[in-house]
Amino acid sequence: MFFSVGVETPKDENTAYGMIVPAFSAYDYGCFSAADSQDQIGPMVKEAILLVAEDLLRSGIAANEIKDAGYLVYSANPEYKDFDSWVMVDVDLSSFEGKPQRINISLPDTLIKRIDSAVKGNSVYRDRSHFIAQAARHALNQ
């Protein structure tokens, strides 16, 4: 899932980059992180997102229920005025969805070939099962 992340640029060399993930505020959770350099922003905020998502799961909110309104919405909110830049971070929350189960399904062979072609030409999908799971998540979130 993609998360909008507000980044506050440090004012001097003694200050870290501050990050916020506003998507969690809808659930009365705060998700904040900090990084000493730009290259640490991604890993640090991903760790914070995973920790908050794990806590949400314990409180009864499923990972697939989390919604991100988008950085345009958040950046227009005066509450986030200190965050001078916005980035999108992709975090795999599938580990919070439960244990994988093998099922037997039937699909037309031409559809399977199209899926395999899409998986082969796109690094977003790990394999055919991942593609089908992502398509199902997308359809269920509509």
What are the tens digits of pLDDT across the range 11-62?
998 999 999 999 999 889 999 999 999 999 999 999 999 999 999 888 888 7
Bridge partners, residue 61, by sequence? none
pLDDT of residue 142: 62
17-20 vs 32-35, strand pairing mode: antiparallel
For 60-101, the pLDDT digits (tens) are: 887 778 889 999 999 999 999 999 999 999 998 877 777 788
Q: What is the pTM of this model?
A: 0.70
Backbone dihedral angles phi then psi of residue 19, each to the nearest 5 degrees: -130, 145
Between vectors from CA 66 to CA 86 and to CA 16, what angle results, nearest 5°? Answer: 35
Q: Buried b / exposed e across 45-60, counting CB within 10 Å, b at 16+?
A: bbebbeebbeebbeee
d(CA 10, CA 32): 15
Choice between 137 and 69, residue whose per-residue pLDDT is larger: 69
Backbone dihedral angles phi then psi of residue 114, each to the nearest 5 degrees: -65, -40
